[in-house]
Amino acid sequence: MKPQTFTVSATAGGNTVSQIFIPDRHITPFNIGFGAVIATTCRYTVQHTFQDPLTTTNLTWFNHPFVAATASNMDGNYAYSVAGIRVLASAASEGGVSVTFIQAGIV
């Protein structure tokens, strides 16, 4: 799967979320690696959902256990299947973050 990058600009007026990265749940192994790079000071959280973003509204989001409310460049991974991943930029900061997702495996 081609790498996909999502950029989020934070504003002090409210939380901002990225588009949703929708992984291929049929790839084995499922593995997704990601790297987040902040452009300027920005607090952000990588979140995931187990509900299908293509068919469900009002998704329930869970924070990645190691990339929550961080303000530095960070990398991480998902070793087990999730239905969607997004980035949430905090309302308490201004700046931006770009996150690149890469999924490996064989269809």
Encode pLDDT of 5-22 as tens digits: 999 987 777 788 999 999
| Domains along the sequence of the chain with CATH | 4-103 (2.60.120.380)
Angle CA 28–106–45, to nearest 5: 60
> Model pTM?
0.90
Encode pLDDT of 79-100 as tens digits: 999 999 999 988 666 678 999 9
Sign of CA dihedral 86, 56, 54, 12: negative
How far is CA 18 from its chain centroid? 8
